[in-house]
Structure 1
Amino acid sequence: MKFTKLKMINYRPYYGTKEINLDIPNDQKPPYRKNIILFGGLNGAGKTTIFKAIRLALFARRGMKDKEYHEYLDGAINNLAFNEGVRSCSIALSLEDEQDQITLEFIMKFDEKKVLIGEERKLYVFNKKEQTEQESTLTNEEFNRFIDERIPLDASEFFLFDAEKIGEIIAKQGREHLKEPIQKIFALEAIKKLKPDLDSLRREILNKLKDAPKNEELENLTRDIQNYNNEIETLQRENQSLNERIQVLKSKKNLLNQERRRKIAQNTDSKISITKKLNDIETRINLINQQLNQFIEKDLLAILLAPSIKGLKDRLRYEKQLEKKRLEIKTRFDTYEQFMEQLIIELEKTLNPLLKMISVEQLKKAGRKSWAKINQIQNETIDQSEIIHDLSNRDYYKLIEYPVANSIDLKQLIEEKITLEEEKKKLEIKLENAPNPVDTTKEDEELAKIYHEIGEKTNKLTENKIRIKEILGELSSLKTKRSHTEEAYKDIEPLKKKIDYITRLQMATEEFIDELTKMKANRIQIEFKQILDKLFRKDQEFLRVEFDSEKYILKLYDRDNRLVQLEQRSEGEKQIIALSFIWALTKTAGFNLPFVIDTPLGRLDSIHRHNLVEHYFSKLSEQVIILSTDVEINKEHASLLEKYIQRKYILEHDPEQQCTDIKEGYFMF
């Protein structure tokens, strides 16, 4: 994988749009492969800004605490652009691997105080066939996974680093923080993920064997099925007894109801019953009287005028239809009338006496008949009655919608009143001879007891039926389980074979991981020792190197075969040891990632600087981006690296504008 381009828009000292070509051509020819992109800049010119821009494009806030993240990005927008009203800046990093050409864009938005208020990540994939770039829609988790598949965040400290601080790796030896990324580089993590999967599968099969049916389980299932069948028989017998009792109660209830109805029939003609009916009739008569008074006061005139109003409405509707019909006929002959009018004018102008002798009315009549025939207009006889009501549409509809009182309602009320008064007289006579009411309290009490007992028996019957239904469901489940249990006996042997296969596979995986780890550790020792001998001064050479494959600890021994206390070495020595360790990891892992190195020679003396320039950068990876000051990669070092440099850029800072420009070239020594 390689980086191909970095674009920054109004990011920190870089005003406007700055595009940097980082591409390393794939078709280079021997003897030298140009793998270095060299940036030169004085302190404060923006070298570290480029370093962090690449990291932000890849990982955004990942690996940074919120406070650290906001402290770095608050105010990250270029001052000149901000003063011009711009409120956002962005970074876009393009990279290419065997499968894809992609661009990662990181956009930052700020408020009026330059405080970061929003961020956005975008991913564009270049379609090689169509030669177009298309934005990919990914969730934040998918975005991170996409990047980690190419440059894992945990392992990024081995590829994107400030060389002045890289010695800190030595202090992290043996910690999980360092162990996990190294395992990712060696692809051991992916293999180790197989172990819990195998353990989980083994546990699952052991659980199946543990839960495999035994003869005792079959006996228990058979016993439970028999118990449920016995319970069903008991409930069914109880239900039969309940039904018989309910029938007896219903018969007794029917007899009591007959006796009660007989007594109530006697009460129908009692004084109480007749008095109630009289009260109802008198109430209705009073209501009718009120309605009749209302008719006399309000609706009498409307009833008397109803025939006249109806006749007026009928006449208005007729005149409306007649007027509409006449207008339709006139519309059909409008064109004809215009034609005839013009024709007669022309005839009157002619000098031909025969034409002047033609009767105008005859001509119009004959022409009208022909016109109707040509245009298929039927000859209709129109009523010539006079339209006597000249009304606007508003007045017409107002009259048509005027309500007409109905005299039938009044007639019905009078008839109902007469009928009720006659019935009242009959009831008054009947009231004088009516008997006293008969008491049905005894029957009512006995019926209440019967209804209560019927309800209890019915509820119990319903409960039993529900329980029988539940038992039948349980029985079905138990019978199915017993059937499956009987079948499961046949599956025990294959499960035992699977356990055997998994156990052997687990042992093989463990053995493979052990052997691979030992092989990688041995390779690290060899690569580490080789590069260390080239980078260190001769008087500082070490006798041997060990890499503990379990604790992931690097051990160096001096010429007297004594363990070297790495944490007590100088910062420059730690830097050389850490860079050598990164070299060994890279060569052992066997894959190629771009390196971005800031402050490459910061803590080193002249001899170590010379060794690092001569033996390290040109062979570290297929793409190495170096961000240096003029006192690090100086004239001598630049000359040594010249044949390996693909591109050179100089960062020129304008202190007045507080902006940096990027130009091709390097320091002029």
Structure 2
Amino acid sequence: MNVIIMVGIAHLHYYRRMIFKELILENFGPYQGKNIINLTPDTEQNGASIILIGGMNGGGKTTIIDSIKLALYGRRAECSTRKNLSYNDFLLESINRGANITEVTRVELTFEHFINEQWIELKIIRHWQSNVKDGKDNLIIIEGEFPDLNLTENWDEYIEDILPLGISNLFLFDGEQVKELAEQDIPNPSLVDAMRALLGLELADKLASDLQILVSRKRKSLESTKEQKDLVNIEEELKFLEKDKKVILQELKTAEKDLKIASKNYRLASDNLRIEGGKIAEKKYKLKQEVDSLSQEIEIIRNQLANVFTQYLPLGLIKPHLNSVRVQLQQEVRASKIQNSYDILRSKDQKLLEFLTTLSIDDINYQKINGFLESENDSLGQEINNIDVYLNGQEKELNYLDNILSYSLPREEEKAKEYVEKLRMLEEELINVEAMAISVEVSKDYQRLEQEYKQKEQRVVECKAEVTRLQKTLESMDRDIQSKLKKLGKYSDRTIEDLQADHLLNAMPKVEQTLMLFKEKLTLRKLNKLENEVTSCFRYLLHKSNFVGKIIINTDNFVLNLYDNLGNLITKNRLSAGEKQLLAIALLWGLARVSGRQLPIVIDTPLGRLDSSHRHNLLERYFPTASHQVILLSTDTEIGEAELEQLHQQNVIAKEYLLDYNSAKNQTTIKSGYFC
């Protein structure tokens, strides 16, 4: 028994490393002719582990990951496009529609793996034609330069030792798978089985099952006829339960595939609705911006007009009175000037007359001049007497009033007219734009897309309900099976002890106890290591080291429970959608690290539902270090210019390809370089 356990432990830690080198697709899916992708990373010299493959939705990204699964597992491959098709029909559906009937469809994957301290290069070739029969493709395994018949015949067993099918979805996955894992409170049974296989926990279960069968056979040989009949009945019930369980597992697998397809269709319908709605929203937004802009401009004009009214413009209401005041001031200022200079003028006149006496002027002319000066002085005096002075204004006040009436007030009146006219035009334009905004209607295309969106959403709800129903049925069956096994285990212990027939049977309870203890310790050790790795990965990806103190994994159903540094439970409701996806990725990353297997990681649609912050964390922290080889299949909206620049700055991209899809021909061509 100790030998069995030690062999199991050795198997768990057996070292494996794998690198995909080249993928060739010939007339497969949308790829017509021969298409070659060099997948070799550049980790040895530059540390560049990422192979970046860009393509639009429907352009052949999923076909890439399906082709890798098909090459590795053939009939057993869980390809996304297979659905419920038989393997024969799936091969026929995978033939490129533009290929001639005589042409071969081929999937060829070359990879290296490290075993027994040396690298071995293998090439998997699967090819078929349109006349494929009995659901068989042609498989050739080439080691080095020559075909290996032994490997070809035993390929399923060989690949299970390198990359078991049960754990393949933990290394070859898409963004939708991560989303489903993030949204599930309890991992589905298929994921739990994969995790148990990856951690090596299935070995203990297999040993326990084998021991139960051995005990059952021994007991059957020693029991009385009645007891044997009871044992046979229990075994028959177990057999039917196991058979029913296989049926339910297959139905669950189909339901999960249907859910995946429904979720993908729902996502596409949601994207289409968002795009069409975005057009309407964009039109409304532009009109709203125009309304806001016009409103702001109107407000500015009104403020300017209000400012004008606070200056000289109100004086225009009393402009005639101001003109009268100006005339009165002009007269008073003149009278003041005459009054102030009257004595001086008379003194000058007197000096002029005295001067004239010194000249040779006759008396008549002298009297005329004297009379003229007297007349002028009298006229000035009369003018002073005729002016009614009541304002007592000065010349500077006259100048100020004259400036207002002649310059400032006319200028302000003209400016006010301009503002009023401009305000009238802007208000008319605002009324027109507001009317246009109100008249924007939802198009018939949008209504159709909205109806399609609701249908796809309802389909997802139905698929989720079916998956939940099957999961509960499976759980009920597991409980029945465990109950039967428990009865089988306890059945006729007294008879076995009394007979003392066989040393093996006497030793079985101790062996079972030892095996159970081994299983518990192995589970705790593995899960403890996995908990530490998942906690480390999640905190590293989250970039919030103080948010989560510890992640505990339930030993029964692998449910993840989060605790803060004080030991308080953190419910998943507190996590955002992006943080939940990071937690799912941390679980996958932690499983890969704990498994001890160094395998390539292929991710389809890696960033579809993450915001910019979480995208940055994955680009900086996960993709460059997730594995020695990371193949990313992305659209230009997931890894755009900013994300591509970030990866270039990190110098982690080994190769870049673009899947150039021609919708008219329904063909995809592989080109070097990412989206430009």
**Which TM-score applies when normalising by structure 2?**
0.50
**Which TM-score applies when normalising by structure 1?**
0.50
Quick check: which has more Rg, 1 or 2? 1
